A and B are shown apart, each in its own frame.
Chain A
């Protein structure tokens, strides 16, 4: 059983998706989705404990030994990521019941859950597979499911957002597959570990460099790195609330993992960061992401879109950590994967509660929310504090390590910019506080039903509580991230 964990992680949601279509029943599909998500979390935790301390689990699909067959290859980096994805899934799936019932037409429910299971299968597949082409296939599975999920939003602009994401995502995936194809051409293998072993023997470096460029740009789009983030704000703003929360917490994180895997485990740290200016470009783009997206967020009129732009900025912090190419920097980036998944997931879940009550998500519609929905509003404030990086929240842990990593390199100005970025976050979080706490509520709203239903509040607050808990007890998250960073820097997969 233990040896089958890697494949079970992917196959369970993958099989559940068509089953849900066959069931043709919303509630049954939801129950199945709950079971699948929780099972995924259990499996992911099992895998993480299996590889703890530098272990490696290799699973040959269909007993075809690698490099001929497809291999699932799990170390502490992707086990950590699978835990992030399945943890968010396990929380969000409980929340989905009420939120989806309100936002998606009844007849689409079973399809919605089916798409959700496919998306989960795709994301976990990307995380666990050790095969370049298989990774592309899972990229497509998760992306196609995502386009449908976004298009199910009740706002008519959701369709346009999904369409744009479809076009852009397809270009991104094409770039990725071109890169993988070039590598296949030069090395004759699709197995990533095998590829890494053969790359040093390649005599003509030009196609390899082209492959690196294609993969970098393709994945940068998927992870919404500035200036390729343009699909993200609308997709997040107009998708159903539960979808936004799930995607914001998982999809971009998985893409960051793919980038890390290719940089450190396939091409090798020396080739990517020492011989090429990748680090400097990534640094420049990350800082631009932090500042441009934060300032744009300050001026947004729609609170969901504001937090979407904040996601772009936070992704900038993650890639900033990666760009340092040091153990501390990588630890900061990887721990921020986890921390930002928690924070943004919680924030979008809470906003979903507001979406049930308010007419729209403009700041004018949020007036007096502090009084009407005290728990929801206070949760958003706590999540906002984590975005700012206030001590006692997970956001502080990430920022602290980023600053330490910057100082290690003697880059005082970057440390200063990280802190300045927090001030911008303070500005946009304050806009919510002002609308929610310093204005009288709309009398029409005041007569409304008030606080969000418990089935939505409890999952959201669970994540907020985790934001505070992991902000204080950093052993688990930092330990995992530190180990992942060590494994990546070792280079061998």
Chain B
């Protein structure tokens, strides 16, 4: 028992979650110091996790493996710990006290998922992640954020229910809870896949992501961008490599992200769509399933966390200083916020996979895998998707926020702590781009891939130049306008209530009788419920003693009748 206790205390995810609770209870300088030290200590603990199952716990009839190391787990856990530290540094200025604690709790739960050796542990940390991230959104403190956090929670509880049902079915069939390659040959596995994909932002419920994330605070969204979708990529990598349907799902996500990002005006909503786009590329890579593809996905997940966070940090700094979110009302901020602008540009270059940035060394691996597999159409679509990424997150965000016409805003540059966080992440993006060998060495399979060959660089530069050309040609059309883009979330946010109201209305037009009847039926059902179960209902009220005694007699008679017959 003691051994289990001590090895679980050294579980990096549990450690970070415990740290988050302490951080929630402290204030001032101590809290800030703890917030920076906890992720660093977590990073150290991540390196201490040995390969294979490090701790087992008996739970019900199962032997759980809450801490199981491996190459893939370590890669994801390292980037999550780095992200937690960078995010904590960035959000020291956040005045809402709950947010940072919730975010670190969320990060700890994400690390818990990547170190889970069995499906039940995955599920537990999966749900903890949903709770942590909901609290992060909720911490923005606005009524819109509160409503969005509830919608977000509902969707994720639905995902959790799918996952739980799938796991229960899997256990019932195989009797095993090990988290290893699952195939799509059983309904239970389809349920697990659906639960995983929901978190990745896959259709038809992708809309939760751009609906909820931008309503978080300027610092909250930085955390949100990193963990949920990337843990989903991790579990898909581990559970469903080479599942063909993922290629189609991933490509759909990639294009969905681009189309909506092109139409979007809110800068952080735009970036939220590009998170879906990035996740789509990774999901498609998992569907390809070759070693190069899986390596590429792992590398791309590792690289995309810092640069996505960097873009959102830049956007968050702008929001923090100006209070404005629409691309249309910003512009020309490069002059007064040079550091933020520079870091934003580095992020944009990385997401565009510009040579000598982290995006280049990872994203091209996935394209290469498609080419190696002679899947021309996949390769073409991936290329088109990366042009789209350049257009949206790369060009559109930077151009309209930091350049374009002068909006007249002259906010001061971001505070020191935020600048420092952005500079660190920008440096890491370029560092990985220049010297990718340590990253390649950490990938799950041996890497035979050379990023800096003439063909790769030239092909990429051509693509980038073409994208930039397209951008300026279409500039007039891309100009942000106050538009509302419709997504699936509109169905349950607006259309559902409207449909219910209009059905009633329609019935009213049909002569009033129908509507009346329906209303009467609903009233009657409600009244029936109230009559029986309501506060003064038959089943809830205090009964006269005599009738209680009568019930006893009736029950006795019933028993005697059944027994004698």
A407 adjacent to B58 (CB under 8 Å):
no
Q: Is A448 interfacial (CB-CB < 8 Å)?
A: no
- 1/0 per position for B532-565, CB-CB distance to A under 8 A? 0111010110110100110110011011101110
> Are A220 and B533 within 8 A (Cβ)?
no
Given known A-B contacts A397-B60, A400-B60, A168 and B549 have beta carbons under 8 A apart: yes
Q: With a CB–CB cut-off of 8 A, which chain A residues contact B537?
A: 296, 299
Chain B residues with CB under 8 Å of A168's CB are 545, 548-549, 552
Which of chain A's residues have a CB closer than 8 A to the CB of B60? 397, 400-401, 474, 478
- The answer to whether the Cβ of B492 comes within 8 Å of any Cβ in the partner chain is no
Q: Which of A209, A472, A475 contacts B564 (CB 8 A)?
A: A209
Residue of A nearest to B534 (CB): A299
- Residue in contact with A164 in the complex, picked from B545, B552, B558, CB distance below 8 Å: B545
Q: Which residues of B contact A175 (CB under 8 A)?
A: 552, 556
- Bound CA span A391–B11, Å: 19
Give 30 A-B contacts (CB < 8 Å), ordered by A residue: A167-B549, A171-B549, A171-B552, A175-B556, A210-B560, A212-B559, A213-B556, A213-B559, A213-B560, A214-B556, A217-B559, A220-B555, A227-B551, A228-B548, A230-B548, A234-B542, A281-B559, A281-B562, A292-B533, A296-B539, A296-B540, A299-B533, A299-B534, A299-B537, A391-B123, A397-B60, A400-B60, A401-B60, A407-B172, A473-B1
A299 to B559, CA, bound (A): 31
Which residues from chain A contact B530 at a C-beta distance below 8 Å? Answer: 299
Number of interface residues of A (CB under 8 A): 46
**Among residues 252 to 294 in chain A, which have CB atoms less than 8 Å away from a CB atom of chain B?**
276-277, 281, 292
Residues of A within 8 A of B (CB): 160, 163-164, 167-168, 171-172, 175, 206, 209-210, 212-214, 216-217, 220-221, 227-228, 230-231, 233-234, 276-277, 281, 292, 295-296, 298-301, 309, 391-392, 397, 400-401, 407, 472-475, 478
Q: Which of B504-549 contact A (CB under 8 A)?
A: 529-530, 533-535, 537, 539-540, 542-543, 545, 548-549
Q: How far is the CB of B137 from chain A (nearest CB, A)?
A: 15
Bound together, the chains give a CA A234 to CA B172 distance in angstroms of: 43
Q: Which 8 A-B pairs have the closest CB atoms?
A: A213-B559, A209-B563, A295-B533, A296-B540, A217-B556, A230-B548, A296-B533, A213-B560
B552 contacts A217, C-beta separation under 8 Å: yes
* Residues of chain A within 8 A of B539, CB atoms compared: 292, 296
Q: Are B540 and A472 in contact (CB under 8 A)?
A: no
**Contact (Cβ within 8 A) A231 B548:** yes
How extensive is the interface on chain B, given as a class? 20 to 34
Given contacts A299-B533, A300-B535, contact A209 B560 (CB under 8 A): yes
Q: Interface on chain B toward A: helix, strand, loop, or mixed SS?
A: helix
Counting chain B CB atoms within 10 Å of each CB, the highest count among A168, A212, A214 belongs to A168
Q: Report if B499 contacts A (CB, 8 A).
A: no
Name the residue of chain A whose CB is nearest to the CB of B564: A209
CB B221 to nearest CB in A, in angstroms, measures 23
The complex places the Cα of A212 from the Cα of B563 at a distance, in Å, of 9
Q: Smallest distance from the beta carbon of B181 to chain A beta carbons, Å?
A: 24
Q: For A233, list chain B residues within 8 Å (CB).
A: 540, 542
* A212 neighbours in B (Cβ, 8 Å): 559, 563
B59 A472 Cβ-Cβ under 8 A: yes
Chain B residue numbers with a CB within 8 Å of A231 are 548
Contacts of A221 in B (CB 8 A): 552
Q: Does B211 belong to the interface (CB within 8 Å)?
A: no
The docked-state distance in angstroms from the alpha carbon of A474 to that of B229 is: 33
Inside 8 A of A164's CB, which chain B residues have their CB?
Answer: 542, 545, 548
On chain A, the residues within 8 Å of B264 by CB distance are: none
Could you tell me the distance in whole angstroms from the C-beta of B558 to the nearest C-beta in chain A? 8
> A278: shortest Cβ distance to chain B, in Å?
8
Kindly state whether residue B57 has any CB partner on chain A within 8 Å.
yes
Q: Which residues of B contact A227 (CB under 8 A)?
A: 551, 555
Residue B127 at the A interface, CB < 8 A? yes
A210 to B557, CA, bound (A): 10
With beta carbons under 8 angstroms apart, the residue of A213, A228, A298, A473 that contacts B551 is A228
- 17 more contacts with CB within 8 A, not counting A277-B562, A407-B172, are A175-B552, A175-B556, A210-B560, A212-B563, A213-B560, A214-B556, A220-B555, A230-B548, A230-B551, A233-B542, A292-B533, A295-B529, A296-B533, A299-B534, A391-B127, A400-B60, A478-B60
